């Protein structure tokens, strides 16, 4: 509770006389009347620790009595018998530290109390059209009353512009949870490498990896990708139904979610233990690209340097093989490498696998890395049999086709440089 309170304090110090509104995650239907497990919205969780649906959090630092207000599902014995205990308004105050709490069905009636003296509303549009419309309707009513009252919000600003920079720098307690998420994923990847063998199915590997997550109170951070043979050339291959053959590469991109925090690891290796000369060549280029990218992760460096380093290493490698031809600067500038490497080199990591946070801070300038930020470094080369070379570029000889390699680590920016959190899974050939 104290940790969440401190985060709200930090956010409120930026809100001034405004009011910020955050909504819990929507529920999602799996089929008919069965729902997916509920997972709280990461922004909402970060600020409140409250993990139930149908909730709204209001931060109103200018309000005389209630700076933090929660709207929650009321206690309801019959409903709780079916779908679990609810905190209700009393615990919203006692356990989650709300200055005031109301049943969610009183939102329309009570929200104006926290808007009519605010100078602006902070809210993030785009997650739920119905709720967006509700916020706009409240704002319109406030604007109508403005001439007679002389107070009220005259603008809406994106709440996340204030919140995401906070989420971007991980607190020690957050890093502990991320290290645990990493530990479980490392164990799973190391087991996967032992297990993989010709004749096994991709889903067998997936099952054993996810078993480790579940046995330790975790869960998959995202649908696990266990991609053998040319499936490795499909970036988000999640069917995991193929039977592996000797001579395949196996690309596994699987991470663990532990107490809301995520890891995200990719390794690629030979199913029978022995790579072909072509597989090895491509692997070594990706490994070198990944190392060059990691070398650019240090406090004070611009965010794009790691991607630029990975791209240059990949282009040089593919040019050496004759798979890209021409002038290196032109290939990079015109992105002629993109049929082989079509994604960026990483993303922020945290409560969300693709954690929010700044990449660019102006048209031509990139975010400067700061200690406490965690990002992935995950270059790859994908030579799909369906690959269409860029204009003026050669056709791909058969022997290269079907090779897909990605290597992904999770990297913490430190004062001295960086720490590769996921170093426990080998990546040297
Ligand atoms: N598995 C998602 C990612 O690597 O970004
Ligand atoms: Mn990944
Ligand atoms: Mn990733």
- Residue 355, pLDDT > 90, answer yes
- Residue 262, pLDDT > 90, answer yes
pLDDT band at residue 412 under the 50/70/90 scheme: very high
- The catalytic position among 2, 33, 194, 363 is 33
Contact (CB, 8 A) for 205 and 196: yes
Instruction: Determine the distance separating the centroid of ligand 2 and the alpha carbon of 263, expressed in angstroms.
Output: 8
- Residue 358, pLDDT > 90, answer no
Per residue in 212-252, pLDDT tens? 999 999 999 999 999 999 999 999 999 999 999 999 999 99
Domains of the chain: 2-166 (3.40.350.10), 169-420 (3.90.230.10)
- The catalytic position among 52, 183, 253, 409 is 253
What local confidence, expressed as pLDDT, does residue 204 receive? 98
What local confidence, expressed as pLDDT, does residue 400 receive? 98
Per residue in 180-199, pLDDT tens? 999 999 999 999 999 999 99
Instruction: Determine the distance separating the centroid of ligand 3 and the alpha carbon of 266, expressed in angstroms.
Output: 8
What local confidence, expressed as pLDDT, does residue 138 receive? 98
Q: What is the chain's mean pLDDT, rounded?
A: 97
Instruction: Determine the distance separating the centroid of ligand 1 and the alpha carbon of 81, expressed in angstroms.
Output: 38
Instruction: Determine the distance separating the centroid of ligand 2 and the alpha carbon of 426, expressed in angstroms.
Output: 16
**Which residue's CA is the closest to the ligand 1 atom numbered 3?**
264
33 is annotated as an active-site residue: yes
410 is annotated as an active-site residue: no
Which atom of ligand 1 is nearest the CA belonging to 378?
4
| Mean pLDDT value of segment 71-79 | 97
User: Taking the CA of residue 312 as centre, how many other CA atoms within 13 Å lie in the half-sphere pointing to its CB?
Assistant: 11
| Mean pLDDT value of segment 3-31 | 97
347 is annotated as an active-site residue: yes
What local confidence, expressed as pLDDT, does residue 272 receive? 86
36 is annotated as an active-site residue: no
What local confidence, expressed as pLDDT, does residue 273 receive? 85
**Which residue's CA is the closest to the ligand 1 atom numbered 4?**
264
Per residue in 114-171, pLDDT tens? 999 999 999 999 999 999 999 999 999 999 999 999 999 999 999 999 999 999 999 9
Which atom of ligand 1 is nearest the CA belonging to 221?
1
Q: Please state the pTM of the whole predicted model.
A: 0.96
């Amino acid at each position: 509770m104290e940790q969440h309170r401190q985060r709200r304090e930090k956010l409120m110090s930026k809100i001034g006389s405004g009011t910020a509104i955050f909504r819990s995650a929507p529920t999602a239907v799996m089929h008919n009347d069965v729902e997916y497990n509920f997972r709280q919205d990461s922004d909402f969780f970060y600020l409140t620790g409250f993990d139930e649906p149908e909730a709204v959090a209001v931060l109103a630092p200018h309000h005389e009595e209630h700076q933090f207000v929660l709207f929650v599902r009321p206690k309801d014995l019959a409903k709780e018998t079916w779908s679990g205990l609810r905190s209700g308004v009393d615990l919203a105050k006692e356990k989650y530290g709300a200055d005031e709490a109301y049943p969610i069905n009183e939102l329309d009636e009570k929200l104006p109390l926290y808007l009519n003296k605010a100078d602006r509303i902070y809210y993030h549009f785009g997650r739920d059209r119905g709720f967006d419309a509700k916020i706009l309707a409240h704002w319109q009513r406030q604007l109508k009353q403005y001439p007679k009252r002389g107070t009220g919000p005259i603008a809406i600003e994106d709440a996340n512009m204030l919140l995401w920079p906070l989420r971007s720098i991980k607190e020690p307690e957050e890093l502990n949870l991320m290290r645990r998420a990493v530990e479980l994923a490392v164990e799973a990847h190391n087991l996967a490498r032992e297990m993989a063998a010709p004749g096994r199915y991709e889903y067998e590997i997936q099952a054993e990896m996810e078993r480790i997550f579940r046995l330790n109170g975790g869960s998959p951070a995202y649908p696990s990708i266990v991609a053998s043979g040319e499936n490795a050339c499909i970036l988000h291959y999640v069917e995991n139904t193929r039977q592996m053959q000797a001579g395949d590469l196996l690309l596994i991109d699987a991470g663990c979610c532990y107490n809301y925090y995520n890891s995200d690891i990719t390794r690629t290796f030979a199913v029978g233990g022995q790579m072909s000369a072509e597989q090895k060549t491509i692997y070594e280029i990706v490994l070198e690209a990944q190392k060059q990218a990691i070398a650019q992760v240090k406090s004070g460096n611009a965010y794009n340097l790691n991607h630029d380093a990975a791209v240059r290493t990949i282009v040089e490698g593919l040019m050496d093989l004759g798979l890209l031809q021409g002038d290196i600067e032109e290939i990079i500038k015109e992105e002629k490498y993109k049929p082989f490497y079509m994604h960026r080199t990483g993303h922020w990591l945290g409560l969300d696998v693709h954690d929010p946070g700044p990449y660019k801070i102006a048209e031509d300038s990139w975010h400067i890395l700061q200690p406490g930020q965690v990002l992935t470094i995950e270059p790859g080369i994908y030579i799909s049999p369906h690959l269409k070379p860029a204009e003026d570029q050669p056709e791909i000889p058969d022997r290269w086709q079907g090779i897909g390699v990605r290597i992904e680590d999770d990297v913490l920016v430190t004062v001295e440089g960086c720490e590769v959190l996921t170093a426990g899974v080998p990546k040297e050939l």
